[in-house]
Structures are given as C-alpha cells and as structure tokens.
A and B are shown apart, each in its own frame.
Chain A
Amino acid sequence: MRDPFLPILLLGAGAGLASCSTVRTIVGIGCGTLALYLLALISVPGRPPTDTLFVLAWIGVGVSAALAWLPPPSWMWIRIAVASLTGLLAGGLSGTSPAASAPAFFGMLACAASVGVALSRRGWPLPPRIVASWLVAIAILNAALVVLPVTPGYLPDHLE
C-alpha cells in the first residue's frame, strides 16, 4: 500500500517553507511549481518507476525544507529552482494515484508560505525553520523506508 497523498502534502509544505522570503521568491516558486506540475501531468510516457519517484519525492521534501535555513534575501534563484522541482515531483506522484490531488499540494504550499512569511515578518523566523527541520527528518526516514523491502505497509494485503 503506497499512497502518494502524504508525500505530495509534504512537498507542498517544503516548497512553502522554502519560499519564506521575498515576494519575488514566493511568486517565482508559485509559478515554477505550477508550470512543472502541469508539465509532469502532460509528460506521462517519461515518468520514472514508482519507487524512484517516491525516493525523489522524499529527497525533494528534504532539500526544499532545508532551503528554509538559508538567509532570506540570498539564494533567491536557487530557492526558486529547487522548490519549483517539487511541482514536478508532485505532478509525477499525482499520476500514480487518482486520490492524490493538486489542491492538496498547492493548498499546503500557500498555507506554509503564508504562515512562514507572517511569522518571519513578526520577527519569529525560527519556528518555520524548526518545522522545516522536522520535515527534513521525516524525509530522511521515509527515504529509508522506501529502500527497506520488508515493510508490511508497502505490501498489498489480502483485501487488495
């Protein structure tokens, strides 16, 4: 049983936290993720195997969340480029299951970005960064889980 919903949700959170910076960064990441999400939906034949896609998604969650630790005005293009890739991964994952949805990804992105920006502007830049570090931890663990072959949660049970 492998549900892409949570990875998609966390990709949105990672991209949102990465965009806790200037307005240009937020707009850039919003446009970049949307464009790459649509691109991933269109380019169905080029999709990698599901396992690879999940590992890449968890790496994407970890890397985009780690971007939240960069000082706000700097590294704008790196932030936009890397966080936009989460759109590509989310789009790719959404093709593996009809249950996964674009609203979850973009909703979480908008939510994480707005909360992060609001906190940063009020002089509290650390809470979003701490949450980002938890996302990195979750991503590391789940990347390890994908490689682990004996997890019963990934095997279809007798009802499926």
Chain B
Amino acid sequence: MRGLRSGLAAGLALAPAAASAHTGTGLAGGFVSGVEHPLSGSDHLLAMVAVGLWGAFLGRPLIYLLPIVFPMMMVVGAAAGMYDMPVPPPEIGIALSVLVLGACIAFAYRAPVPLAVLIVAGFALFHGYAHGRELPSAADPVGYSMGFVLATGLLHVAGILIGSLTCHKKGATAVRLGGGAIAAAGVSFLIQAAAR
C-alpha cells in the first residue's frame, strides 16, 4: 500500500501539468478573454451598466451619447495604458466611477449634457487604462481589444434596458435603489483600493 502511494506520488510529480500552457500557437488572450475582462470584474461591470442606467435616466441625447463617449474614451485610456503613460492610480479612479455613477442614479441627478459627458469620459479613461495595461500580454490583441469594446458597449445596452423601467413610477424607484447599491459597492471598492 505504501509502495502504491509512493508510486502514485512519483507519477503525479512527473505528470506534465505545464503542458496546458500551449494549446496551439498562442491565441490564449483573444476575443473571449477580451469579452470576459469587463464581465469578470464587478467594478468594470457595475460602472458600465451604471453608464447605461444613468443614460436611460437622463433621456435624449445622453441615452445614446454616453454609450458612444465611454468606449471612445476607453480606447484612449487603453492606448495610454499600453504606452505606460503615468496616470493617477487607476484602481481609485475605477472605484470612484462606480461610486459617483451609482450616486448620480440614486439621487436622480439630472446633470447638464456637457457635465455628464465629461464625468463619463473621465472615468472611461481609467477603465481603459486598466484594460490597456493587460492588453500587451494578450496573445491576440486585436481579438482582445475587439472583445472588450463590444462587451463594454453591450453592458451599456443592458444598463439602458434596465433603465427603461424608469417609465414606471415603481420602476424608477427600483432603478434608484439599484443606483444606491452600485454606489455602496463603489465605497467598498474604494476602501479596498485605498488599502492597497
């Protein structure tokens, strides 16, 4: 029995566990990884849904301007990240984006168009920077970048669809409560980011 255990242990130790590092010709960080990046991080996910929610809350023209501005500025931030340009800590910026956007929804803040665009554009830079810092290590950067831009846009659309509940009185209350929950999550992210 002891010999069997020893043999098993030796066999396991010699097993080529690292073989999975290459499953082809290096396309690990491609389109799917790009799609997964905003979806897997709750900070990105909440901020992007919040952009759509706030846009739906504010109505035209921001309902379609914000989902255009955010991805556009995000790629500017991603380019800054790829070139390793110095910026304020992106984790703080991302956490603040969740907090501020959630608070804007919770308090039903009807920002003027230029201010809303400015807020969203500023925060998009931080999200893009975080994506851009990961982008150079992706094996298929074209697929990765396409994935994360499309996922971001679709999260905005999801936010707009949820935000369309504001047509009803109860729906508007639910959306504002959701905004409050997003802001609370933002506080938690901010504490975590500050503690690092």
Contacts and interface: CB of A to CB of B under 8 A. Distances in A.
Interface of A: 1, 3, 6-7, 10, 126, 129-131, 133-134, 136-138, 140-142, 144-145, 148, 150-154, 157, 159-160
B60 to A, nearest CB: 10
A6 B25 contact: no
Contact of B139 (A1, A126, A133): A1
Interface string B110-151: 000000000000000000000000011111111111100110
Interface in B143-169: 143-146, 149-150, 153
Nearest to B139: A153
B38 interface: no
A133 B71 contact: yes
Most buried by B among A130, A137, A140, A145: A137
A157 B26 contact: yes
A3 B142 contact: yes
B67 interface: yes
Nearest to B138: A153
Contacts of B67: 130
Given A134-B153, A159-B22, A152 B145 contact: no
> How would you classify the secondary structure of chain B's contact residues: helix, strand, loop or mixed?
helix
A152 B68 contact: no
Contact of A137 (B64, B71, B136): B71
> How would you classify the secondary structure of chain A's contact residues: helix, strand, loop or mixed?
helix
Interface residues of B, number: 34
B184 interface: no
A119 to B, nearest CB: 13
Contact of B79 (A133, A138, A144): A144
Given A130-B67, A159-B26, A141 B149 contact: yes
Contact of A138 (B22, B64, B137, B149): B149
B161 to A, nearest CB: 12
B182 interface: no
B153 A131 contact: yes
B187 interface: no
B156 to A, nearest CB: 9
A159 B68 contact: no
A1 B25 contact: yes
Contacts of A152: 136-139
A6 B142 contact: yes
A159 B142 contact: no
B72 A142 contact: no
B102 interface: no
A115 B25 CA distance: 35
